[in-house]
C-alpha cells in the first residue's frame, strides 16, 4: 500500500495533471536564434486573428459600465509611451495578459535599439473606431510603433512582439504593428472547465441528463478501459463545477450530426490505425474518428469529425467517474485534461478513488446499523464544490513548479 502511494506522489510531481487548466504551452522560446523581421501585411501565426490558435473568439465590446470593465488594468510602465489621442487614458487600459506581453516587449525594444522606446498608438477603444469584431474593444489589442517612428524598424518590432508572446501579431499598416492576446480565461489564469452545462450524459436509469443537473454518486455511461465496452460508472466528484465561468470551447461536429463541445486541452479517444489513443481535443482535425455510443448497443462505433469551430460558453463542468472516462453527447471522452496519457492521469487520481471507496463503505456500514431497511444510496450525499476541486488544484500547482514552461508561456 505504501509503495502505491509513493508511486502516486511521484507521478503527481512528475506530470502536469489537472482538471482543465491551460493548454500545453509551446515551450520556452529559444534564445540566440536569429530574428527575422515580419514583412508588410504578414501576420504570425498565419491564421486569422479571432481563431483558436491565434487570439481566439471576440467576446464583444466592453464599456465603462460593463462588469468586464473591472478586468482591465491600467499600464503605467515608464518604458512605454502612450499616445493617448483621446485624452481619456483609455489606451493605457488592457487585460492583464496584454499588459504582461507589452511590458516584456518594452524591454526587448530598449535592448534592441538603445534610446528608443515602445510607443502605443491605440489600446482599448471605447468609442467605436474599429471594425465590429476588433479586439481593441476588449483591451486585448494594441497598435504599436517605436518612439522614433522609424518605419524601417517596424518589421523587426513585429518580430519582437511575436517573441514577447503576443498571440497574434500583424504588420497591419506602414504606420503601425497590431498585436493581440487571448482571453484571460482561455489561459488558465482562472483554470477549470471541460464541458458546458447543457452537455448530456446517460444515467443508469437510462435517462439523459444535463451535466449541470448531474449529482455526485449517480452512475453514468462510461467506457471501461479494460474491455472497451460501455458500462455505468459512479461520479466520484466534479473536477470543476462553475455555472458562471465563461470559457472558450471547441465545437466538434460529427458526421452523424452529434456535437461535442469541449475545452481544447481535454483528452478525447481517437480511433487510429494502431487502435484507440487518447489525444488532446485541440489536436483533432477534420476527418479524425471518435468513438460514439449508439442507443441500443454496448459496443462503440466510430464517427468522423466533419467540422471544428470555436465557441464561447458560460458554465463549466467536469465529472470524474470511477473508470476515468465518460460518454458526453454520445461521444466517449476522458475525464482528464492537460497530460496526454489517460493511464498517468488515472493513476494520479487514485488517492481520491480510495478515499471515495472508504467513505462509501463507512456510509453503508453506518446506514445498516442506523436503519437496516433504508434503501437510500450515497447519491446526492456530497454537495458539489464551486470551482476547481482542491485535489486538482494541488496537482495544478505542483505542475506549475515542476514544468513551468507549460504555463503562462
Ligand atoms: C453608464 O452609467 C451612467 C450612470 O449609471 C449613465 O449615465 C451612462 O449613460 C452609462 N453609459 C453607458 C455608455 O451606458
Ligand atoms: C456546433 O456546430 C454545429 C454545426 O456547425 C451547430 O449546429 C451547433 O449549434 C454548434 N454548437 C454550439 C454550442 O455552438
Ligand atoms: C445532419 O444535419 C443536416 C442538416 O441539418 C442534414 O442534412 C443531414 O441529413 C443530417 N445527417 C444525419 C446523419 O442525420
Ligand atoms: C438499434 O437501433 C437501430 C436504429 O435505432 C436499429 O436500426 C437497429 O435494428 C437496432 N438494433 C437492435 C439490436 O435492436
Q: Give the model's pLDDT for residue 171.
A: 96
Q: Which of 220, 210, 112, 224 lies closest to 157, judged by CA?
A: 112
Coil, helix or strand at residue 101: helix
Q: Give the model's pLDDT for residue 324.
A: 87
- Residue from 251, 252, 254 whose mutation best tests the ligand 2 pocket (most atoms within 8 A of CB): 251
Better-scored residue on pLDDT, 275 or 317: 317
Find the 8 Cα to ligand 3 centroid distance in Å.
46
Q: Residue 249 CA: which ligand is closest? A: 2
Find the 207 Cα to ligand 4 centroid distance in Å.
18
- Residue from 65, 70, 124 whose mutation best tests the ligand 1 pocket (most atoms within 8 A of CB): 65
Q: Give the model's pLDDT for residue 344.
A: 67
Residue 396: pLDDT band (50, 70, 90) is low
Q: Is the CB of 69 under 6 A from ligand 1?
A: no
Q: Residue 260 CA: which ligand is closest? A: 2
Find the 123 Cα to ligand 2 centroid distance in Å.
32
Mean pLDDT lowest for which of 140-144, 218-222, 275-279?
A: 275-279
Q: Give the model's pLDDT for residue 400.
A: 41
Name the residue ranges covered by the structural domains of the chain.
35-182, 193-367+376-407
CA distance 359 to 303: 39
Q: Are 241 and 385 in contact (CB under 8 A)?
A: yes
Residue 241: pLDDT band (50, 70, 90) is confident
- For 195-215, the pLDDT digits (tens) are 999 999 999 888 899 999 998
Q: Is the CB of 256 under 6 A from ligand 3?
A: yes
Better-scored residue on pLDDT, 300 or 375: 300
- For 26-54, the pLDDT digits (tens) are 334 445 568 899 999 999 999 999 887 78
**Does residue 25 carry a pLDDT above 70?**
no
Find the 296 Cα to ligand 4 centroid distance in Å.
6
Q: Give the model's pLDDT for residue 27.
A: 39
Q: Are 244 and 190 in contact (CB under 8 A)?
A: no
- Residue from 255, 257, 330 whose mutation best tests the ligand 3 pocket (most atoms within 8 A of CB): 257
CA distance 36 to 38: 7
Better-scored residue on pLDDT, 160 or 22: 160
Q: CATH classification of 35-182, choosing from 3.40.50.2300, 3.30.420.40, 3.20.180.10, 3.30.1380.10?
A: 3.30.1380.10
Mean pLDDT lowest for which of 164-173, 265-274, 334-343?
A: 334-343
Q: Residue 295 CA: which ligand is closest? A: 4
Mark residue 84 as left, alpha or beta (left: phi above 0; alpha: psi -120 to 50; beta: remaining).
left
Q: Is the CB of 115 under 6 A from ligand 1?
A: no
Q: Which of 161, 72, 65 lies closest to 120, judged by CA?
A: 161
Q: Give the model's pLDDT for residue 232.
A: 92
Find the 259 Cα to ligand 2 centroid distance in Å.
7
- For 132-188, the pLDDT digits (tens) are 889 999 999 999 999 999 999 999 999 999 999 999 999 999 999 999 998 876 544
The pTM is what? 0.62
Regarding the domain delimited by 193-367+376-407, which CATH topology (the fold level of the hierarchy) does it fall under?
Endonuclease - Pi-scei; Chain A, domain 1 (2.170.16)
Amino acid at each position: 500500500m505504501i509503495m502505491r502511494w509513493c508511486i502516486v506522489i511521484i507521478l503527481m510531481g512528475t506530470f502536469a495533471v489537472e482538471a482543465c487548466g491551460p493548454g500545453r504551452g509551446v515551450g520556452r522560446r529559444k534564445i540566440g536564434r536569429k530574428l527575422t523581421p515580419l514583412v508588410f501585411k504578414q501576420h504570425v501565426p498565419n491564421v486569422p486573428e479571432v481563431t483558436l490558435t491565434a487570439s481566439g473568439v471576440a467576446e464583444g465590446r466592453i464599456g465603462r459600465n460593463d462588469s468586464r470593465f473591472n478586468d482591465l488594468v491600467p499600464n503605467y510602465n515608464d518604458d512605454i509611451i502612450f499616445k493617448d489621442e483621446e485624452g481619456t487614458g483609455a489606451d493605457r487600459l488592457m487585460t492583464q495578459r496584454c499588459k504582461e506581453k507589452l511590458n516584456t516587449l518594452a524591454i526587448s525594444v530598449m535592448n534592441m535599439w538603445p534610446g528608443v522606446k515602445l510607443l502605443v498608438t491605440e489600446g482599448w477603444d471605447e468609442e467605436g473606431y474599429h471594425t465590429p469584431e476588433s479586439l481593441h474593444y476588449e483591451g486585448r489589442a494594441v497598435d504599436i510603433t517605436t518612439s522614433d517612428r522609424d518605419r524601417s524598424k517596424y518589421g523587426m518590432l513585429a518580430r519582437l512582439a511575436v517573441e514577447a508572446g503576443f498571440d497574434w501579431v500583424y504588420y497591419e499598416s506602414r504606420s503601425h504593428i497590431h498585436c493581440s492576446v487571448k482571453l484571460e480565461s482561455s489561459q488558465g489564469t482562472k483554470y477549470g472547465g471541460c464541458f458546458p452545462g447543457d452537455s448530456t450524459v446517460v444515467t443508469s436509469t437510462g435517462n439523459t441528463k444535463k451535466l449541470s443537473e448531474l449529482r455526485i454518486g449517480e452512475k453514468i455511461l462510461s467506457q471501461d478501459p479494460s474491455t472497451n465496452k460501455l458500462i455505468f460508472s459512479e461520479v466520484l466528484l466534479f473536477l470543476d463545477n462553475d455555472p458562471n465561468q465563461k470559457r472558450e470551447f471547441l465545437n466538434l461536429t460529427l458526421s452523424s450530426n452529434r456535437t461535442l463541445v469541449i475545452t481544447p486541452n481535454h483528452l478525447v479517444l481517437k480511433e487510429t490505425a494502431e487502435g484507440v489513443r487518447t489525444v488532446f481535443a485541440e489536436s483533432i482535425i477534420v476527418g479524425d474518428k471518435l468513438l460514439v455510443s449508439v442507443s441500443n448497443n454496448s459496443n462503440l462505433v466510430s464517427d468522423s469529425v466533419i467540422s471544428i469551430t470555436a465557441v464561447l460558453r458560460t458554465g463549466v463542468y467536469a465529472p470524474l467517474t470511477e473508470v476515468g472516462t465518460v460518454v458526453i453527447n454520445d461521444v466517449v471522452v476522458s475525464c482528464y485534461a492537460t497530460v496526454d496519457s489517460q493511464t498517468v492521469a488515472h493513476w494520479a487520481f487514485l488517492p481520491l478513488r480510495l478515499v471515495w471507496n472508504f467513505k462509501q463503505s463507512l456510509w453503508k456500514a453506518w446506514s445498516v446499523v442506523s436503519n437496516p431497511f433504508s434503501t437510500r444510496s450515497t447519491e446526492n450525499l456530497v454537495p458539489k464544490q464551486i470551482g476547481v476541486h482542491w485535489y486538482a488544484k494541488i496537482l495544478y500547482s505542483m505542475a506549475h513548479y515542476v514544468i513551468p514552461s507549460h504555463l503562462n508561456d
